[in-house]
Amino acid sequence: MADYLVRAMAFDGQVRAYAVQSTETVEEARRRQDTWATTSAALGRTLTISSMMGAMLKGEDKITLKVEGDGPAGAIVADANSKGEVRGYIKNPHVDFDLNDQGKLDVARAVGTSGTLSVVKDLGMRDHFTGQVPLISGEISEDFTYYFANSEQVPSAVGAGVLVDTDYSILASGGFIIQMMPGADEETTSQIEKRLTEMPAISSLVRDGKTPEEILHTVLGEENVQVLDTMPVQFKCHCSRERVEMAISSLGDEEIQRMIDEDQGAEAKCHFCNEDYQFDVKELQELQSNTAE
């Protein structure tokens, strides 16, 4: 089943909800980044959440998430738009540990428990909206729950999970974001909290074939959910050779000549997709000519 996302309301408008299946998306990121099991889980959770936060945007708006902990995996960066396109990378993909005390991948150890979570929204205005909170656990989902409550003042429950197979491929990945709207009553909140404590791990639900709609039914109760729409989700990078050419041209004639004289060419690699762009001397000279025109 191809990845997709569901937007919904619940409890007669008291709750806004999102759920996503992101297995193929996270697998594409894993393949491109060559992540090991623990870093696959860390990056996958971040990508999954970013896809849902992207779905909260409109038009050409974009969002960038950055998790900077003190763990050995280093920074995690992901960005998404309102069209279900998401991409991301982790600084040190080759970090892995034994399972933690709960028998799960030790994401907190890889990410670190001290640091910051930043969210930058490009809403097409001159100034971007930026929110930042301290990491509270390094488990990603809990950190985003804290972000919504403290930076956006929206009581939320965020869940994201990734199951990694023995060959390091992604077996299952998915997530949900449940947000309480202004005026939501205590009975509704208590009912959701109870369901959240009783539900299986989100990645297990995806592995067992549950759709995003069924995930929301598990969290909120089928009779309470009104699905608004669905949207395909995919890993998509926006880099291109043309963009790299423009970047090199912007360096100016002197810097391009230095590349020719000292390096006999140039190489650029995209952080997000690991696509490698190489330029030989002749191609750099052509870029010089274009700059001079």
- The end-to-end CA distance of the chain, in Å, is 51
pLDDT at 281: 87
pLDDT at 250: 87
Cite the residue boundaries of each domain of the chain with CATH code 3.90.1280.10. Answer: 241-292
pLDDT at 292: 54
Read off the pLDDT of residues 52-84 as tens digits, 9 standing for 90 and up. Answer: 999 999 999 999 999 999 999 999 999 999 999
pLDDT band (50, 70, 90) for residue 293: low
Read off the pLDDT of residues 190-225 as tens digits, 9 standing for 90 and up. Answer: 999 999 999 999 999 999 999 999 999 999 999 999
Report how far Cα 242 is from the mean position of its chain's Cα atoms: 25
- Please, which residues bridge with residue 87 across strands? 79
Helix (H, G, I), strand (E, B) or coil at 21: strand
Cα–Cα distance for residue pair 44/39, rounded to 1 Å: 8
| 234: phi then psi, degrees, rounded to nearest 5 | -155, 155
Q: Which of these, 251, 282, 279, 283, lies nearest to 267 by C-alpha position?
A: 279
Give the chain's mean pLDDT.
94
- Please, which residues bridge with residue 17 across strands? 8, 178
Helix (H, G, I), strand (E, B) or coil at 38: helix
Pairing of strands 85-90, 234-235: parallel
Cite the residue boundaries of each domain of the chain with CATH code 3.55.30.10. Answer: 4-235
Read off the pLDDT of residues 14-23 as tens digits, 9 standing for 90 and up. Answer: 999 999 999 9
- Please, which residues bridge with residue 77 across strands? 66, 89
pTM for this structure?
Answer: 0.93
Pick the CATH number of 4-235 from 2.115.10.20, 1.10.1040.10, 3.55.30.10, 3.40.190.10: 3.55.30.10
Q: How many other CB atoms are found less than 10 A from the CB of residue 195? A: 15
Structure tokens, 45 = 């959770």
Given a contact cutoff of 8 angstroms between Cβ atoms, the answer to whether 202 and 159 are in contact is yes
Name the architecture of domain 241-292: Alpha-Beta Complex (3.90)
